[in-house]
Structure 1
Amino acid sequence: MIFNIQLILTLFLFQQNDAIVSEIVWLKKDAVVWSVDQKIKGKAHGMKEGNLWLFHNSRSQPVEVENGEFEVHVKLKEIHNTFVVAYNEKDMGMASDTLFLTLAYKPVPVYKPVIRMGKDHIHIQAIELENPLSETIDLEWLSATGNPETLEIIGTEDLGVIFKKPEKDGDYWINLKSHSLHDTKTYKAMFRKTGKEYTVFGPDNPRHPWMDSAILYQLSPYNFSASGGLNAITKKLPDIAALGINTLYLQPIFQSHRKGQGYDIVNYFKLNPAHGDEAELRNLIQKANELGLRVLFDLVLNHSSIHHPYAKSRIAHGPLSHYNDFYHTTFDGAKYSSHYNADEYGFINYFWKDLVNLNYDNEEVQRWMLEACKYWVEEFGIDGYRFDAIWGVMARKPEFGLRLRNELKSIKPDIFMLAEAKGREPEVYQYGFDAAYDWTNDTLWVSQWSWEYEYNASESKTAFNHPDAGKRAAILKASLFSDLDHANRILRFTENNDLPRFPVHHDLERSKTAAALVFSIPGIPMLYQGQEIGALPHPYRSVPIFDQGSSIRSQDSVGVFAYYQQLISKRKEYPAFQGGTLVPLEFKGNPEIVAFQRIAGDQMVTVILNPADKPASVSTDELPGFSKQDPKKQKWYNLLKDERVKLIEDNGKAKIYLKPYEIMWLAHTTFEH
């Protein structure tokens, strides 16, 4: 391509002796770009109109000069693009250096398949979201392999297809292949048939039911085990599956500047070589899927490392850098702007100086992040993302979430989109995410866990260790019984990568009770690596969690592995815990008890918790559904101890006795007398 430009210039230009009295200078550096629409600038002072030409690959066009400068809007139709500006006037000819712009992605059309159910037919239409090169596209609709039965095409319509409704129940997938100039892309539509009912999943539809039964396990490749890396995780997958986990959540595995948890990304499309290579990653995902585990990646969309090549280019070249506007530099008054900090280069960050915010008002930034998200789904088949600090993006550009949802769920309709944002805010779901964190609505403390009553950098202060035992129940009730409309979409935890280990500032018994509460309330429960063996080092430390040569269970010195195994097993066994409703209970004269019922269909489980450091009791008369007959004939069972509920008599009333910090899961069952 460069040869073609040079040949044209040779024919176009001529020079005599030292006739050049000026020069043409680019006001732009070479760059990798994220849009086909580009604006290039330069200086050409003292040159007459009509004699300045831009040569773009094998094409040319005249260039207008104003006040010694020129600006040209160009469309990149090829991946590799070279630009030269040349001038010719009588005996004077000259040319600029060559400017190189490389398109970072294949500019293919983006489609969203939309399903509409008719009486006897299924109508699917391809909604065109983008067509960067305004191409006329060949679309191909196919019934995916593996469907319960092959879907029969009975007709076509504008950018769409009509299938006959199937006879067999199950999940059905339809592939849309888009054949364009640069690539063939596959988009997917999905629906489920259950009897006469049809449920559609995708960008405009509810989240897939698998998310209601998800049990997450968060882990970090950098300190999961002493030997480190993806292979070490793969070897432990059977242990994780035996615990009852069905969803892995890997902290960032991408190239980062520092060692550690990996949130300072310097390349969104490459693995951190310290963790392993692509073959090892594919093997991990394959083995996980074989064990029934889905895989989520942790991806940072709010910021990059200040050591990212784009940020370094901005520092080095300022306005001449293509990436000068890729970063957030304006005190815009957006939500959470009270947490803005600016550095000497004008970058804005929230809390960490070397983690600089991206500018989502820039279309190229949006396309860059969209392509990064789609890459790992298309290339490695992952099942979803946890989007780190997405609360910051939502504060500055909330509508990006819907764009992200459209593009991700158009290639994988059942992909899981977990937002690190406040799960009690309806906006997080209105803007496209499936689930979010158990945080309060307080904007001054961005990530306040709803169980915390006070922030302390070195100590965990929660409802379970509040110095005033009388306030513990009130804090928990405020957390558990408010904003129930979205309760099933909230991520629940006692530990994660940012919190101190729960047993460090509580004790083992309270930790077990808190964990049982997590697994009994609506939402998506999560364990953090090492929680199942009682690990104590703070997540920010690089202390390895597991010995590679021993099973996870064998490294449990406090006896909690089997306990977590039991919690997970019971949650899976009882549908009331998975998507069921929560009905709060109150007891007269005993406000320090936290109690509620989980109900799904005709199944009911009653949960009773004593968060105080002294014994308590509950009268069976105040428990809905509890037998009013002779207490000796009652048919309630404590699921956590696998035993019949023992009652005490107090003033002629049958009562349930709870030890300090005790929690019970009570289910109605049948006994022989």
Structure 2
Amino acid sequence: MNTSVANSDMTHLAKDADWWRGAVIYQIYPRSFQDDNGDGIGDLRGITRRLPYVASLGVDAVWISPFFTSPMKDFGYDVSDYRDVDPMFGTLADFDALVQTAHGLGLKVMIDLVLSHSSDQHPWFVESRADRDNARANWYVWADAKPDGSPPSNWLSIFGGSAWTWDARRCQYYLHNFLVSQPDLNFHEPAVQEALLDVARFWLDRGVDGFRLDTINFYTHDALLRDNPPLPPEARNATIAPAVNPYNHQEHLYDKNRPETLGFLRKLRSAIGPYNGALLGEVGDAQRGLEILGEYTAGDDLAHMCYAFELLSGDRPDAARVAEVMNHVARVAADGWACWAYSNHDVKRHATRWSLPPEGQRLLATLLMCLRGSACIYQGEELGLTEADVAFDDLQDPYGIEFWPEFKGRDGCRTPMVWEASNQNGGFTTAARPWLPVAPEHLGRAVETAEADDDALLHHYRHAIALRRAHPALAKGTMEDMRVDGSVLRFHRRIGDQDLLCLFNLGNTPQTVTLPAGAWSIVDAVPEMTLTTTKTITLDGWQSLVMKPEGGE
């Protein structure tokens, strides 16, 4: 072990093993956060420079999207070396400095592990495809053609077309649930699992506090390669793939969501245990996302937490919808733990996706901090950034290029972070042209502008996060007595003797609701309000209110 790793602050020995429960996690997309070397692409040194800002939000951890060595066909989600930093992002020494700085600021560091597939340029795949008899011949999913030469099954790629590609070297098909250049690793091969566990240990030894597990439910496939059944049109939805994608036409029983995944998760949980780390899984499934979340987080030997796409979908959540989702989770994941988010690097920014007014963004930020589970914030949402309109000629995302113009891909949520309003590139880079253009409409929402504006959304995010941190019931308590009164969602968060009544008017017209019996006092109200009676209360449109029993904690 090199000196920088051996001498890293061993925070895992002292940190609370339960730190992840109820944590607020800030997602950083490295290409777009801060460019330090002036090449137009964000990097690790840029992240390190901006960590004091992240810490000022009051969050508990950062999740950093992939920065590993990669040909960048899918911008780092196609890894060619799991144990090194791509030169465009810096060096391992830069990463060590980032971790040290984060820990000094009280921030945990979670990194994105992409284990379901690698790049086709990874040495493992180069060796595997060479012939059928080499040491890694079974490390990827290879299969013979059907007698007529067609693919082994009807499985489809999320990025379009068949999930199988013919390889002339082996005269076999290989599986790729995403790009052709992203072959799927074979989790039925024990050596593959051990190699990936070693990857996790490598980063844990460098001081990493946990992993976001990309496409966690794609790890294993049906060993018999059975065809997926068709999905009735009325059951299709565009939760994880655009409506124009025929991927939505299948019930994905055999290409993912297999029970064998649980065995690997137990091994990974065991490996991360001595480090007091945490596992956050991404569950990509349009029909059974919450059920899988419950399966993968049940007990204390699988993933610590997972997120599905119910609150990352296109339908703006009203009170009834939020209650439906929370009640569903309570049924299928009572012994598990969810992580909630409205935006990330894969979906249209929620300010645009849900056509939210500023007061709606404030209410939903408070709601996120009051839901049972952990919470993820995506860079720039605290500024109220909208989805950028990226011209076709500027597109980088292969997903958008494939399905343009009906689906414009993910570049609109990946444009650079804006730090300075007076700079045409928002203070992101000194280069003449960043890797994606800075949206002109974002400049007025730059961090420096928001810091100087007491009414800016940024300050409300700090307020909502502080509210969560000040009340253990919001971070780790139960969620009980869920009710919907018109457009008002209400529930209690409880832990020990602490009882908080949370009310949210998810509509734009005033609503009057009856309070539970007893005397109640206001803990937090946005906009501010005063109590005139203890029996009923009227919430303005998009108003949030947190209360406690008179004399309670």
TM over 0.5: yes
Residue 337 of structure 1, CA deviation: 5.9
8 Å contact from structure 1 (residues 488, 524) kept in 2: no
8 Å contact from structure 1 (residues 516, 567) kept in 2: yes
SS of residue in 2 equivalent to 1:451: helix
Q: 1:545 aligns with which of 417, 437, 453?
A: 417
For the pair 1:598 / 2:493, whether they are aligned, the reply is yes
Q: 2:481 aligns with which of 559, 584, 590?
A: 584
Alignment partner, residue 477 of structure 1: 323
SS of residue in 1 equivalent to 2:33: coil
Residue 226 of structure 1, CA deviation: 4.1
Alignment partner, residue 640 of structure 1: 525
Structure label with greater radius of gyration: 1
Give runs of aligned pairs for residues 309-320 of structure 1, distance below 5 A.
Answer: 309-315=123-129, 317-320=130-133
Residue 568 of structure 1, CA deviation: 0.6
Alignment partner, residue 270 of structure 1: 84
Give runs of aligned pairs for residues 103-142 of structure 1, distance below 5 A.
Answer: none
Q: Which consecutive unaligned segments of at least 5 residues does structure 2 have?
A: 2-8, 37-41, 145-153, 168-172, 221-256, 284-288, 389-409, 421-426, 429-444
8 Å contact from structure 2 (residues 290, 329) kept in 1: no
8 Å contact from structure 1 (residues 647, 654) kept in 2: no
Alignment partner, residue 503 of structure 1: 351
| Structure with a larger share of its residues in helix | 2
Q: 2:32 aligns with which of 223, 226, 234?
A: 223
Give runs of aligned pairs for residues 97-496 of structure 1, distance below 5 A.
Answer: 208-227=17-36, 228-258=42-72, 261-315=75-129, 317-330=130-143, 341-345=163-167, 346-378=173-205, 380-393=206-219, 395-396=257-258, 397-398=260-261, 399-409=263-273, 411-412=274-275, 414-421=276-283, 422=289, 424-425=291-292, 426-430=294-298, 432-439=301-308, 449-451=309-311, 461-464=314-317, 472-484=318-330, 485-486=333-334, 489-496=337-344
Residue 488 of structure 1, CA deviation: 6.8
Alignment partner, residue 534 of structure 1: 384
8 Å contact from structure 2 (residues 23, 475) kept in 1: no
CA distance in 1, matches of 2:351, 2:545: 20
CA distance in 2, matches of 1:663, 1:389: 34
Q: What letter is aligned with 2:219?
A: V
When the two chains are superposed, the root-mean-square deviation of aligned CA atoms in Å is: 3.4
Q: What letter is aligned with 1:369?
A: L
Distance 1:665 1:430, change over 3 A: closer
| Structure with a larger share of its residues in strand | 1
Instruction: Give the alignment's TM-score, normalised by structure 1.
Output: 0.58
Identity across aligned pairs (percent)?
A: 23
Distance 1:172 1:302, change over 3 A: closer
Residue 585 of structure 1, CA deviation: 3.8
Alignment partner, residue 521 of structure 1: 371
Alignment partner, residue 43 of structure 1: none
CA deviation vs aligned residue, 1:291-343 (integer Å, no higher than 9, x gap): 1011111011100112323323444x232544332111359xxxx96767111
8 Å contact from structure 1 (residues 494, 515) kept in 2: no
Q: 2:502 aligns with which of 578, 582, 607?
A: 607
Alignment partner, residue 547 of structure 2: 666
CA distance in 1, matches of 2:298, 2:306: 15
CA distance in 1, matches of 2:307, 2:505: 21
Alignment partner, residue 514 of structure 2: 619
CA deviation vs aligned residue, 1:72-118 (integer Å, no higher than 9, x gap): xxxxxxxxxxxxxxxxxxxxxxxxxxxxxxxxx9xxxxxxxxxxxxx
Alignment partner, residue 232 of structure 2: none
SS of residue in 2 equivalent to 1:343: strand
8 Å contact from structure 2 (residues 306, 338) kept in 1: yes
8 Å contact from structure 2 (residues 70, 119) kept in 1: yes
Higher relative contact order (CA 8 A, sep 6+): 2
Alignment partner, residue 439 of structure 2: none
SS of residue in 2 equivalent to 1:578: helix
CA distance in 2, matches of 1:257, 1:637: 54
8 Å contact from structure 2 (residues 372, 479) kept in 1: yes
Q: Which consecutive unaligned segments of at least 5 residues does structure 1 have?
A: 1-104, 106-145, 148-170, 174-189, 193-206, 440-448, 453-459, 465-471, 628-634
CA deviation vs aligned residue, 1:334-361 (integer Å, no higher than 9, x gap): xx96767111221212243322211011
Distance 1:356 1:284, change over 3 A: same
8 Å contact from structure 1 (residues 535, 545) kept in 2: no
Distance 1:657 1:261, change over 3 A: farther
8 Å contact from structure 1 (residues 229, 275) kept in 2: yes
Give runs of aligned pairs for residues 21-100 of structure 1, distance below 5 A.
Answer: none
Residue 229 of structure 1, CA deviation: 0.9
Instruction: Give the alignment's TM-score, normalised by structure 2.
Output: 0.70
CA distance in 2, matches of 1:233, 1:278: 14
Alignment partner, residue 441 of structure 2: none
Distance 1:669 1:241, change over 3 A: farther
8 Å contact from structure 1 (residues 503, 511) kept in 2: yes
Distance 1:330 1:664, change over 3 A: farther
Distance 1:586 1:388, change over 3 A: closer
CA distance in 1, matches of 2:199, 2:326: 36
CA distance in 2, matches of 1:518, 1:641: 14
8 Å contact from structure 1 (residues 645, 656) kept in 2: no
Q: What letter is aligned with 1:282?
A: D
CA distance in 1, matches of 2:72, 2:310: 31
Residue 533 of structure 1, CA deviation: 1.3
Q: What letter is aligned with 2:266?
A: L
8 Å contact from structure 1 (residues 638, 645) kept in 2: no
Residue 501 of structure 1, CA deviation: 0.7
Distance 1:591 1:642, change over 3 A: closer
Distance 1:434 1:365, change over 3 A: closer
Residue 236 of structure 1, CA deviation: 0.9
The count of aligned residue pairs is: 429
CA distance in 1, matches of 2:316, 2:302: 28
For the pair 1:566 / 2:463, whether they are aligned, the reply is yes
Residue 491 of structure 1, CA deviation: 0.8
Q: What letter is aligned with 1:546?
A: V
Alignment partner, residue 657 of structure 1: 538
Residue 601 of structure 1, CA deviation: 1.5
